[in-house]
Amino acid sequence: MSSNGQRLTPLEMLAKLVAFDTESAKSNLALIEFVETYLQSWNVPYVRILNEAGDKAALYATVGPQDRGGIVLSGHTDVVPVAGQNWTSDPFTLRVENGRAYGRGAVDMKAFDALALALIPEFQAANLQTPIHIMLSYDEETTCLGVVDTIRKLGHDLPLPKAVIVGEPTMLEVVDAHKSVVTFSTTVHGFEAHSSKPYLGASAVMTAAEMIGELNRIGDEMMERGDTSGRFDPPYTTVHVGVISGGTARNILSKSCTFHWEFRGLPSQDPNEIPNRLERFAQDVALKRLNRFGDFGRIETKLHAHVPGLAPEPGSFAETLALRLAGKNHTQTVPFGTEAGHYQMAGIPTVVCGPGSIDQAHQADEYITLDQLEAGAAFMRRLMATCTSS
C-alpha cells in the first residue's frame, strides 16, 4: 500500500472535480485522467471503459479485496449546461460562502464522487474485508447509458457486487423506487401542395396533431389507472409532448412535422405498451388518413433514451444496508430518473442515497451545504466500518 498519494479533504476534492467542465456534450476524459493519476498514487486498481467514440469514459475502481464483489458507490461525472444561466461567479470554480459550496455539479453529483475519492486513504487503512467499489459514469444527464457498458462487465470481467448505492442528492434519504423516463421523436413525412387543393398532397402537421391527440388519450387512461401504492407524485404514468415543429406556410400542406415526446412510467409500467399503442394508431388511423388521396407519406418514431424505473425490493441487502448507514427506518421515492434501474436490471440490489438536495441542482449558483457534505462523509465512514467487520 502506497503512502505517497496526495491527501485531499472532500471539499478540496470537490473543488478539483468542479474545475473540469464536463457538460454532457463535452468529453469527460480530462477529469477521468485526473482521477486515474490520483488512484495510481494510492495504488488503487481501476478499469477505464471508453465509449464507442473514444471521447468519454467510465471508471471502476476497487479498494480492498480484488477477488470478490462488494459495495458500489456509483456517481456520474457529467453535468448540465450553464449557458443562459445567471451565475454569481465562475460555475467551474468552487466558491465556499455562508456554509455552502457553489459550482456546477456541486450537488449533482460531484460531491458524492468527491467524498468517495477523498476517503480512499481511510478505506485503505481500514483493512476492508468487503471491498468498496467506486463507479464514475458519463452521460447520465442525457441518456443514462454511460453506465451500461461497465454493468455488463459485472459478474463477468469484474466480480458481481453485493449492492449498489447510487449517490444522487436525496438529503441522504434512502430511495428504493422511481419512475422510468422514456423519450422519443416521431416524424410525419407528408407531401406539399396548395392548401386549396388538399387532395393533391398530405399534411404532416395535421397528421402529427392526430397522433398527439392519441397520446393525450393514452395519458388520460394512464391517469385513470393510477398507482395503488400511493408513493409516487403524481400517482400515475405521465405522457407528455414537449416540442413540435413543421410546415412552411399557412397555405401549404406541410411536408414534414416532428414532435418530441416522453412518458415517465411507474416501475410496473410495461415500457413497450405506450409506443406500441401509438404505432398501432399510426398504422390503423393516422397513416390511412395521411395517404387517403395517394401514397404520399409515412410515419416513423425513434427511441432516444430509456432510463429504467427502480422498483421497490423490500428487505433487499442494499435497502437494509443503506437504511442502517443513514439512520433511517423507511424508504422514499423521488420524481427524477437515475442510473439505479440499470443496476437493478442486472440483478444487483440497488438504492439511491446521496448528500444534498435535488432542489439545488440544474440551476444557477448550484450548491451543496457543508453540513450535507460532512453528513455524506459520515455515511461513507459507517460503510467503511461495516465493510471492515464483514
User: What pLDDT digit, counting tens, does each position of 187-212 carry?
Assistant: 999 999 999 999 999 999 999 999 99
Residue 317's identity, in one-letter code, is F
Cell of 106: 456541486
Does the pLDDT value for residue 388 go beyond 80?
A: yes
Dump pLDDT digits (tens) for 2-54. Answer: 457 889 999 999 999 999 999 999 999 999 999 999 999 999 999 999 999 99
pTM of the entire predicted model: 0.92
What is the spatial distance between Cα 158 and Cα 322, in angstroms, rounded to a whole number? 23
Does the pLDDT value for residue 1 go beyond 50?
A: no
Percent of the chain with pLDDT over 70: 99
- pLDDT at position 4 is 72
DSSP state of 273: H
Percent of the chain with pLDDT over 90: 97
Domain ranges of the chain: 10-177+310-389, 181-307
Per DSSP (E only), the strands in the chain are: 46-50, 57-63, 71-76, 95-97, 100-102, 132-137, 163-166, 175-178, 181-189, 238-246, 256-264, 298-307, 332-334, 350-352, 367-369
Q: Are 134 and 61 in contact (CB under 8 A)?
A: yes
Bridge partner residues of 263 (DSSP): 182, 239
- pLDDT at position 113 is 98
Q: What is the mean pLDDT of residues 106-129?
A: 97
What is the spatial distance between Cα 244 and Cα 211, in angstroms, rounded to a whole number? 12
Q: What is the mean pLDDT of residues 261-287?
A: 97
DSSP calls for 102-158 = ESTTTTTTHHHHHHHHHTHHHHHHTT-SS-EEEEEES-TTTTS-TTHHHHHHBTTTB
Does the pLDDT value for residue 153 go beyond 70?
A: yes
Q: What is the mean pLDDT of residues 83-100?
A: 97
- pLDDT at position 3 is 53
Domains 10-177+310-389 and 181-307 fall in the same CATH topology:
no
* Residue closest to 73 by CA, chosen among 118, 28, 129, 37: 118
CATH architecture of 10-177+310-389: 3-Layer(aba) Sandwich (3.40)
Lowest-pLDDT range, 110-119, 171-180, 226-235? 226-235
Beta carbons within 8 Å of 86's beta carbon, 6+ residues apart? 364
**Summary mean pLDDT of the chain:** 97
Taking CA 275 as the corner, what is the angle to CA 298 and CA 302, rounded to the nearest 5 degrees?
A: 55
Q: Largest Cα–Cα distance of the chain, in whole Å?
A: 81
Q: What is the mean pLDDT of residues 56-76?
A: 97
Polymer length in residues for the chain? 390
Does the pLDDT value for residue 104 go beyond 80?
A: yes
- Fold of the domain spanning 181-307: Alpha-Beta Plaits (3.30.70)
Q: Which helix (H) or strand (E) holds 389?
A: helix 370-389
Q: Is 253 helix (H, G, I), strand (E, B) or coil?
A: coil
Bridge partner residues of 239 (DSSP): 263
Burial (CB < 10 A; 0-12, 13-18, 19+), residue 99, is exposed
The torsion angles phi and psi of 194, rounded to 5 degrees, stand at -70, 135
Q: What is the mean pLDDT of residues 303-326?
A: 97
